[in-house]
Amino acid sequence: MKIKYLTVFLSFVAIGLQAATQEPSVTEDRGLIDKYCVTCHNQRTKAAGLTLDTADLANIPSQSAVWERVIRKLRAEMMPPVGAPHPDKAQLDRLATFLETSLDKWAAAHPNPGRLTLHRLNRAEYGNAVRDLFALDAVDIAQYLPPDPEAYGFDNIADSLGTSPALMERYLAVAWKVARMAMADAKIPATTETFRARMDLTQRDHIEGLPLGTRGGMVIQYNFPVDAEYEIRPKLWANTVEQIGGLEHTDTLEVTFDGQRIKLVNFGGHEDEVLAAGVSAAARTQIEARFIARIPVKAGPHTIGVAFLKKSSAPPVDVLRPFLRDRIDPVSTNGIAQLDKIVIEGPFNALPSGDSPSRRRILTCRTISEAEAASCANKILTTVARRAYRRPATDAEMKQLMGFFESGRQKGGSFDSGIETALAFLLVSPQFLFRFEKDSDNVAPGANFRVSDLELASRLAFFIWSSIPDDPLLDLAVKGRLKEPAVLEAQVRRMLADKRARALGANFAGQWLYLRNLKSKYPID
C-alpha cells in the first residue's frame, strides 16, 4: 500500500515539475510577443490583417493559420521590421521552434488526409496511361486533348479537373484514334503530321542523333500505325515570299530511316538560284520535290533523320552568319540552307494487320477457330481492363466489354474489329478516365481510414510516373502485400529507378518550381 501511495505522489510531483518547467516558457514567449509584436498586430491597428494580442499560446493549433504566418516571418527574419526594437536572435529562434514543435505534434496526432474527390486523369496522365497500356511509345497522345485548368499552379488537382460534353466528345474521338493505332487497323485514313525544327538551335553544327559528318537538320521518333507506304517530305526554311535561303551555295541533303540512308539529294548553286529568281513558290515546290521519300514501313516506332552533309569546317566568310529564326528581316536569304520541318504523310496502300509492339502488348492470344474467338477475346480484354482500371474488372464490366466486342465484330466482320471497338469503349469508360477511391466499410463519416492496396498502387503510380500501375505493382496490390513497409520501400525504389520516373520532375517538380514557365522566358543579353 505504501508503494502505491508513493507512486501516486511521485506522479503528481512529476506533473507539477513539468508544469513548472513549461509555464515560464509560455509566459516568457507571451511577454516577448506582447513587447515586440502586439504594438502593431492588435485589435485596433490590425497590421497586415494579423492580431496577436488575443492569440492563445496555450492552444496554438486552434489558430494554426495565424501561427504559421508568424513562423514564416520569424524564420525569414522579416519581423520585427527594420528600425523597430529587436529581441535577441536566440529568443526569436526559441519562439519559432516552440511554435513549430507545437503545430507539428498536433498535426502528427490529428492527421488530415483530406476528402475523397472524383479525380479525372489530366492530359499528361491520360497520354502516359495510353502509352503504357498499348506500348505506343512514340505517340504524343496529349497533343489531341485540350490543356487542363490549373489551380494553385498545378493541373492535376481533382477539384479543378471538371468535365463537359465537348471534352467527352474529344475523348471519344481520341479513343477511336488510339484504338485504331493500337490494333494497326489497315482502314486508318491517311493523315499529315508536321514536326518543326527548334527555333533556338543553330544548324551550322552537328545535331546529336544524326550521322557524323553532317550539320543541322533534325531527328524525330514517329509511331507508324500500320504496315503501309508513307511519304517523308523535308521542307527547307524560306522567307515570307517563299524564297529558300542559302541557294547561292551547293548543298547536299541526307534523309535517314532507323540510321540507314534512304535519300541523298544535291541542290543549290547557280541553276537553283536562277530557278528561284522566277516564281519563288513554284521553285520551292520543284526543289523540295527532290527530297520526298516514299517508302514501305512496318508498323511501330521508327527514327527519321534529315541533315546536310558538312563539306568544310571553314565555310566562306559570307556564310558565317548566325541563323536567327526570330530575326526582323523576313526577306533575306543569305547564309546557309536550313531545315524548317519534316512532314510525314500516310498510310498509303495499307496492308492487313500484321505485327507491331502495340499488337504484341494487346493480343495475349490468337484465334484459330471461330469457336475460340469469344474465350480469346475475354482473355485479352480481362488483361487490358485490369491494367486500365487499375484493378481486376468485375463480371458486370467484363460482360459490358464483351458486348462491345461482339458488336464491333459483327459490324467490322473480323476479330480485330471487335477488339478495336472494345478498346475504344474502354478508353472512355469512367473506370479509366477517373480515379475512384471508395470509402472503407464500417467507418464512421469523417473518420480516417487506410486506403486499399489497389488504391495505394494507383496513388504511387500517378505520383511517380503520372501513369497507371504496372503488372508487378498490381500483382502485389491484389495479394494485399503492398502496404508492408519492406515491400512498399522496394517498390518505390524500383519505380524511381524506372525511366518513367522522369514524369515526377517534368510534371510535379516542373509545376511546383514553375520550371514549365521557362519556355516563355527569354534570357537578357
Q: For 162-175, what is each residue's pLDDT tens digit?
A: 999 999 999 999 99
Strand order in the sheet with 260-267: 214-224, 300-309, 251-257, 260-267
- pLDDT, residue 312, reads 67
DSSP 36-54: HTTTTSSTTT-GGG---SS
Task: State yes or no: pLDDT of 126 exceeds 50.
Answer: yes
For residue 281, give Cα distances in angstroms to 227, 231, 256: 34, 21, 26
Task: State yes or no: pLDDT of 438 exceeds 90.
Answer: no
Q: Can you give the pTM of this predicted structure?
A: 0.77
Question: Using DSSP, how many helices (H) and how many strands (E) does the chain show?
Answer: 17, 10
Question: Can you tell me whether residue 300 is helix, strand or coil?
Answer: strand
Which H or E element spans position 214? strand 214-224
- pLDDT, residue 24, reads 46
Task: State yes or no: pLDDT of 355 exceeds 50.
Answer: yes
326 vs 452, which has greater pLDDT? 452
Least confident piece of the model among 14-28, 49-63, 83-97, 508-522: 14-28
Residue 257 CA to residue 226 CA, distance in Å, equals 16
- pLDDT, residue 16, reads 45
In which residue are the cell numbers 478508353 written?
Answer: 427
| DSSP class of 278 | S
Confidence of residue 35 (pLDDT cuts 50, 70, 90): confident
- 480 and 510 in contact (C-beta within 8 Å)? no
Residue 202 CA to residue 60 CA, distance in Å, equals 59
CB atoms within 10 A of CB 257: 17
Domains of the chain: 2-109 (no CATH), 196-348 (2.60.120)
- 226 and 345 in contact (C-beta within 8 Å)? no
Residue 521 CA to residue 514 CA, distance in Å, equals 11
- pLDDT, residue 10, reads 40
- pLDDT, residue 523, reads 64
Q: Which residues share a beta bridge with 235?
A: 341
- 339 and 237 in contact (C-beta within 8 Å)? yes
Residue 153 CA to residue 514 CA, distance in Å, equals 8
232 vs 203, which has greater pLDDT? 232
Percent of the chain predicted with pLDDT > 70: 90
- 191 and 283 in contact (C-beta within 8 Å)? no
Q: Which residues, 6+ apart, have CB-to-CB distance to 79 below 8 Å?
A: 37, 70, 73
Letter string b/e over residues 65-99, b meaning 16 or more CB atoms within 10 A of that residue's CB: ebbebbbebbeeeebbeeeeeeeeeeebebbbebb
In which residue are the cell numbers 553544327 written?
Answer: 205
Task: State yes or no: pLDDT of 5 exceeds 60.
Answer: no
- pLDDT, residue 14, reads 43
Of 199-203, 308-312, 337-341, 477-481, highest mean pLDDT: 477-481
Closest CA to 211 of 269, 246, 248, 252: 252
- pLDDT, residue 125, reads 95
User: Nine-digit cell at 511?
Assistant: 509545376
